[in-house]
Amino acid sequence: MECRDIINTFAPCLSDTLGVSTDLANFLSITLGVLIVATFPLLVTILLIWVERKFAARVQDRIGPNRVGPFGLFQPFADVIKLLGKEDITPAGADKWIYNASPVVMVMAVLLIWAVIPLTPVHVGVDLEIGALYFVAVASIGTLSVIMAGWASNNKYALLGSFRVVAQLISYEVPLALALLVPVMLAGSMSMVGIVEAQTGMWFVFMVPVSAFLFFISSQAETGRAPFDLLEAESELVAGFNIEYSGMKFAMFFAGEFMHVFTNGVLMAVLFTGGYIGPFVDQIPLLGLVYLLAKASIWYLLSLLMRNALPRVRIDQLMLFNWLFLVPVSIINLILVAFLMFVIRELGLQPDDPRDFVQNIPQTVVLLLGNVALLIGTLTVIRNRFRAERLAEQSTMLPAQAGD
Amino acid sequence: MNVLSEWAFIGVFFVLAPILPAVPILLGGVLSPKKPNAIKQATYECGVETVGDTWVQFKVQYYIYGLVFLIFDVEMVFLFPWAVAYGQLDFFAFAAGVLFIFLLSDALVYAWKKNALEWA
C-alpha cells in the first residue's frame, strides 16, 4: 500500500509498514487527528490576542503593543510568561474541585466545536451526519462553565454575574439555533461538509442574509463580549463570574473567550459564506484552509469592530432585544424560508445542477426578495411602535402643546 | 469512515480536550509562588467583610427564562429532522411544521403578555 496521502491513510500505513495491530493503529490515528484539530485553534488564539489588542488600540487611537518583537508580535508570549509567574489564589470557602474545573471546561467547550469544522475538502476532524446538532449541544457546555465558576467562587459578585450570564446565554441560544435551521434546510443536511458543499453554486449569505445576521448577532452575544458584555459590567459587578480567578486559570477564561469569537467567525464562514470553497480547491486541497481562514477573519474583524465601536446595553434591554426582537424575527424567518422553498419547488426554479452558479440565480433572487421584504416589514413595525411610544411620551410631558 | 470510528473520534476528543487547557494551569501551579495567608484568600468584595451566606436564593425570573428556553430547545430537537428532510417533503409537511412552530410561539406570546420576559 502506498503511503503518500499520509493524513487520510495513516492507520493502514502504520499497520502495514510497522506491523502494528489494526485496532491500535486506528486508535493512534484518531488520537493524532484529535491532537492536530484541537491544537490548531489554540495556536491561532496566541496570534488572536495580538490582533485583538492591536485592533482595539487602533480604534482608540493608540499604537498598541509594539515593543516585544517585530510589531509587538511576541507580546502574547510575554503575557503567558508573566501569567505563569502569578500566584494562584484560591479563595477561602471555594468549592475547590468545581472552582478548578471551570476554566478547563470553558476552553473545552470551544475546542469541541472544532471537531466537526471542515478545514479543507479532505481534512475534517470528523464529518458527523448530525454536525449542526452536535454544535448546538456542545456550545451549551460553555454556560455550564460559567455556572460552575460563579457558584464555586464563594463570592456574591461572581454569583450575581454568573446568574446574569446564564440568563443571557440560554436566551440567545434560541435565535442561534433557529437561525442555524435555515442553512440546514437549504442544504438538506446537518453535516457541516454537506452544508459547505451545498454552497458550491451560491453562498447562503446571498440567499438568506437575515439568518446570517441573526446567527452573527446571537453568536456574538454567546461569547459575552461588548456590546453584550453584561457578565463583565465593571461598574456594577466588579468583574463578573471570573472575579476570584488569577494567574493561568484567569488566562484560560480569556483564551476561551478569544477562541470562541474566532470560532464564531469560522462558523459564519462554514454556514453562510461557503467555508473552504474557492477557486482551485479541487486541485490543491490546502488552499481551502486559506479560504476558510480568510473568510473567518472578515467575520472576526467585523465582530472586533462591533466590540470596540458599540456601547454596552443594559440587562433589561438585552433580554428584551432577544425575546421581543431576535426570537420572533427568527421564527418568522424560518417559516418564510420554508414557504419560499416550497414556492421555488412548485415553480420549478430549482437548479438542475446545484453546483452551477448561473442556475442558482433564480432561486437566490426569490429568497433574497423574501428576505428584503421581511427586513422592510420588521423595520416598519419597529418604527411605528417607537414612534407611537415617542408621541405618547411627548403628549404626557408637554400637555400644553397638544393642541398646537 | 464508519459511524463507530466517527464517534470514537468524538470520544477521544472529549477525553483529550480538557487535558490541553489543564496543562498550562498545572504548569502555572508548579511555577508560580505559593504564599497564601488569610487576608489574601479572603473573598474579594472591595475590602468589605462578606455579610451572610454567599450561596443565596436567586430570583424567580431566572427560572422563567430557563423554562421558556427549555420549550424552545426541545422544539429545536424536533425541528432539525424536519429541516433536513424538508427538500423532499410535500405541502402537508410544510403545514405541519408551521403549525408546530405556531403552537410553540403561542407559549412565547403568552409569556410576553404575562410580562414574564421583562427584566423586573
pLDDT by residue (tens digit) across B3-12? 777 788 888 8
Kindly determine whether residue B94 and residue A338, on different chains, have CB atoms separated by under 8 Å. Answer: yes
SS3 of residue B34 by DSSP = coil
Q: Which residues does chain B have within 8 Å of residue A181's beta carbon, measured at their own beta carbons?
A: 76, 79-80, 83
Co-location of A357 and A257 in the same domain: yes
Helix axes of A247-272 and B19-31: crossing angle, nearest 10 degrees:
160
Distance from CA of B54 to the nearest CA of A (A): 6
- Cα-Cα-Cα-Cα dihedral sign, residues A205, A134, A290, A202: negative
Co-location of A366 and A236 in the same domain: yes
What pLDDT, on the 0 to 100 scale, is given for residue A160? 80
Kindly determine whether residue A238 and residue B20, on different chains, have CB atoms separated by under 8 Å. Answer: no
Weakest mean pLDDT among A85-99, B13-27, B49-63: B49-63
SS3 of residue A118 by DSSP = strand
Each domain of chain B, given as residue ranges in start order, spans 3-113
Cis peptide before B81 (omega within 30 of 0): no
In chain A, the number of structural domains is 2
Residue B8 CA to residue A136 CA, distance in Å, equals 20
What pLDDT, on the 0 to 100 scale, is given for residue A1? 38
What pLDDT, on the 0 to 100 scale, is given for residue A10? 67
| A393, part of any domain | no
Model confidence at B53, in pLDDT bands (50, 70, 90)? confident
Phi, psi of A295 (to 5 degrees): -65, -40
What pLDDT, on the 0 to 100 scale, is given for residue A171? 87
Contact B43, A154 (CB under 8 A): yes
- B3-113: which CATH architecture? Up-down Bundle (1.20)
Kindly determine whether residue B59 and residue A163, on different chains, have CB atoms separated by under 8 Å. Answer: yes
Co-location of A171 and A316 in the same domain: yes
Name the stretches of chain A with pLDDT < 70. 1-12, 14-15, 19, 230-239, 398-404
Name the A residues in 368-397 with CB < 8 Å from any B CB: none
Q: Which of B1, B5, B12 to mutate to test the interface with A (most CBs of A within 10 A)?
A: B12
| A146, part of any domain | yes
Co-location of A4 and A125 in the same domain: no
Distance from CA of B120 to the nearest CA of A (A): 8
Kindly determine whether residue B69 and residue A341, on different chains, have CB atoms separated by under 8 Å. Answer: no
CA distance to A166, B111, B116, per residue, from B108 (Å)? 19, 5, 10
Co-location of A27 and A75 in the same domain: yes
Give the residue among A290, A273, A263 at the shortest CA–CA distance from A213. Answer: A273
Q: According to DSSP H, which parts of A321-402 are helical?
A: 327-347, 357-397
A118, β-bridge pairs: A124
Q: Which residues does chain A have within 8 Å of residue B101's beta carbon, measured at their own beta carbons?
A: 331, 334-335
A124, β-bridge pairs: A118
What pLDDT, on the 0 to 100 scale, is given for residue A399? 59
Contact A100, A71 (CB under 8 A): no
What pLDDT, on the 0 to 100 scale, is given for residue A264? 92
- Report whether pLDDT(B108) > 50: yes
What pLDDT, on the 0 to 100 scale, is given for residue A267? 92
Question: Which domain-ending residue is among A65, A83, A101?
Answer: A83
- The beta-carbon neighbor of B5 closest among A26, A39, A177 is A26
Chain A nearest-CA residue for B113? A324
Distance from CA of A71 to the nearest CA of B (A): 26
Kindly determine whether residue B9 and residue A126, on different chains, have CB atoms separated by under 8 Å. Answer: yes
Co-location of A91 and A75 in the same domain: no
Chain A nearest-CA residue for B80? A181
Q: Which residues does chain B have within 8 Å of residue A108's beta carbon, measured at their own beta carbons?
A: 17-18, 21
C-alpha cell at B57: 436564593
Is A141 in CB contact (< 8 Å) with chain B? no
Contact A180, A135 (CB under 8 A): yes
Co-location of A237 and A112 in the same domain: yes
Co-location of A185 and A262 in the same domain: yes
Residue B118 vs residue A139, higher pLDDT: A139
In tens, the pLDDT along B86-99 reads 878 788 888 888 89
| A91, part of any domain | yes
What number of other Cβ atoms are within 10 A of residue A250's Cβ?
A: 19
Chain B nearest-CA residue for A92? B41
Structural domain of A61? 1-83
Is A347 in CB contact (< 8 Å) with chain B? no
Contact B46, A238 (CB under 8 A): yes
Which DSSP string corresponds to A198-248?
A: TTSSS-HHHH-HHHHHHHHHHHHHHHT-TTS-TTT-HHHHTTGGGTT--HH
Q: Which residues does chain A have within 8 Å of residue B25's beta carbon, measured at their own beta carbons?
A: 100, 103-104, 248-249, 252
Co-location of A45 and A100 in the same domain: no
Question: Which domain-ending residue is among A83, A98, A128?
Answer: A83
pTM equals: 0.89
- The beta-carbon neighbor of B32 closest among A84, A174, A338 is A84
Kindly determine whether residue B28 and residue A83, on different chains, have CB atoms separated by under 8 Å. Answer: yes
Co-location of A291 and A313 in the same domain: yes
| A400, part of any domain | no
| A213, part of any domain | yes
Co-location of A335 and A229 in the same domain: yes
Contacts of B12 (CB under 8 A, 6+ apart): A27, A30, A31, A34
- Report whether pLDDT(B2) > 70: no
Co-location of A269 and A205 in the same domain: yes
Contact A354, A277 (CB under 8 A): no
